[in-house]
Amino acid sequence: MGCCESSLLAEPHPEKKDHNHSPNPPFSHPPFSAGPDPVTATGVPSFAEFSFSDLKAATNNFSSDYIVSESGEKAPNLVYKGRLQNRRWIAVKKFGKLAWPDPKQFAALDMIRGKNIILLMDSHLEGKFSTEEATIVVDLASKCLQYEPKERPSTKDLVATLAPLQTKSDVPSYVMLGISKHEEAPPTPQRPLSPLGEACSRTDLTAIHQILILTHYRDDEGTNELSFQEWTQQMRDMLEARKRGDYAFRDKDFKAAIDCYSQFIDVGTMVSPTVYARRSLCYLLCDQPDAALRDAMQAQCVHPDWPTAFYMQSVALAKLDMHQDAADMLNEAAGLEEKRQKHGRGS
């Protein structure tokens, strides 16, 4: 910011006229091009507005030689002396960035500037509220725009202020819009569940663990057909890793089971839906539902009609708080299980 000195004397400054600085460029505004400054009735120069280029030229590009602050360049807000083209001396105060308020405070005001405010106004409300009620709402809105959270009204305050303004009884939106109410479809009748289905519906991980141990690898039959030539050392190592995983799974050392089953899966020569189902349960017991869901889906890819894969997905979805999806998956698993039982096969 800049200001004119209060004295009307246009005497030259006592410093040497041949001071080493470039001559000031001409100003863009007419008040300082020629003649004395406009003077008020009190004898003090009237308020004048300076452009940044005016101040920059008057202070020789804010030269350190023009600083008159007591602490020099170390002052938080520097004060410069400056000389206008009309030879009048001025004082220029330069503020640091920290001296100005956070621009975020003005973000809300900027959002409702110009045409934006029209979008926030509802023409249907015209004449529906009194001036007093409108004043209350505007005052409340201004409080909501306060920068400091503690200065904003709480939800309780909002309700307490707005509730008395409500004159109409609550009406469902579909009535106001003249739309017939959408009738929800009746829920799909639940099928009877097997022990595994019951355990999954309760998210009983301990019961699921016991059932998977008893089932063993019964449902892996036919998923892998290996020739004699494929029984290599790598194959033996892979099966050994799976065996170690089975022991860890039985002993409830679920982190070790994950590591061993991962070794088996990473080789990729054999694909076992049971291994994916077991590792899925291990992930659930280690509080990793995302990984558990991925393994359950992999089990479905290997064995598309295997109810256990769907049951494990339902448990993982429930752990992820996706309860409607979990219920749908549970019902789908029960349907597959019912079909398999009709053909004399288990889950």
> Which H or E element spans position 323?
helix 323-342
Q: What is the pLDDT of residue 13?
A: 46
Q: Rounded to whole angstroms, how far apart are CA atoms 339 and 341?
A: 5
Residue 70, token pair as written in the block: 């007591």
pLDDT of residue 30 exceeding 50, the answer is no
Q: What is the pLDDT of residue 99?
A: 63
Q: Does 1-100 match 195-218+233-342 in CATH topology?
A: no
Write out pLDDT tens, residues 281-334. Answer: 999 999 999 999 999 999 999 999 999 999 999 999 999 999 999 999 999 999
Residue 237, token pair as written in the block: 């190592």
* Dihedral sign of CA atoms 204, 210, 215, 217 in order: positive
Write out pLDDT tens, residues 61-117. Answer: 988 889 888 777 777 778 889 998 888 888 888 877 666 666 666 666 666 666 666
For residue 21, what pLDDT band results from cuts at 50, 70 and 90?
very low
Spell out the residues 6+ positions from residue 316 whose beta carbon is closer than 8 angstroms to its own: 280, 284, 289, 290, 292, 293, 296
Residue 222, token pair as written in the block: 């036919």
Whose CA is closest to 281, among 302, 250, 304?
250
DSSP symbol at 59: T
Q: What is the pLDDT of residue 280?
A: 96
Q: What is the pLDDT of residue 203?
A: 92
Most confident range, picked from 27-41, 168-182, 203-217, 218-232:
203-217
Give the amino acid at 325. Answer: D
CATH class of this structure's domain 1-100? alpha beta
CATH class of this structure's domain 195-218+233-342? mainly alpha
Q: What is the pLDDT of residue 317?
A: 95
Residue 329, token pair as written in the block: 């998956």
For residue 164, what pLDDT band results from cuts at 50, 70 and 90?
confident
Per-residue pLDDT, averaged over 188-215, amounts to 86
Tell me the HSE value of 217 on the side-chain side, using a 13 A CA sphere. 15
Spell out the residues 6+ positions from residue 26 whose beta carbon is closer than 8 angstroms to its own: 33, 85
pLDDT of residue 140 exceeding 50, the answer is yes
Domain ranges of the chain: 1-100, 103-165, 195-218+233-342
The overall pTM is greater than 0.85: no
pLDDT of residue 188 exceeding 70, the answer is no
In the chain, where do the E strands start and end?
2-4, 78-83, 89-94
Q: Rounded to whole angstroms, how far apart are CA atoms 323 and 329?
A: 10
pLDDT of residue 249 exceeding 60, the answer is yes
Tokens 């979990």 belong to which residue? 326
The b/e string for 230-248 (b: 16+ C-beta within 10 A; e otherwise) is eeeeeeeebeebbebbbeb
